[in-house]
Amino acid sequence: MPTIDIQVRRLIVVSQRPFDEVLQRLTATIGRSDIMAFHDSMALATTPAELEAVVRKTLGSSDLMEFVRFDSGDVLRKEKGGKGPRRLRLVVGNPLIMKEMAKLVPDAASYVPLTILVDERADGVHLSYDLIESFLAPYGSDAALRVARDLDAKVEGLLQAAAH
How do the domains of the chain map onto residue ranges?
10-30+63-163
Averaged pLDDT for residues 33-54: 95
The CATH homologous superfamily to which domain 10-30+63-163 belongs is TT1751-like domain (3.30.310.70)
How many Cα atoms sit within 13 Å of 157 on the Cβ side? 12
How many residues in the chain? 164
Reported as a single tens digit per residue, the pLDDT across 105-130 is 999 999 999 999 999 999 999 999 99
Is the confidence at residue 82, as pLDDT, over 90?
no
pLDDT bucket at 76, cuts 50 / 70 / 90? confident
Output the average pLDDT for the chain: 95
Note whether 88 and 117 are within 8 A (CB). Answer: yes
| Alpha helices by DSSP H, 28-113 | 35-44, 48-58, 72-79, 95-104
What pTM, to 2 d.p., does this model score? Answer: 0.93
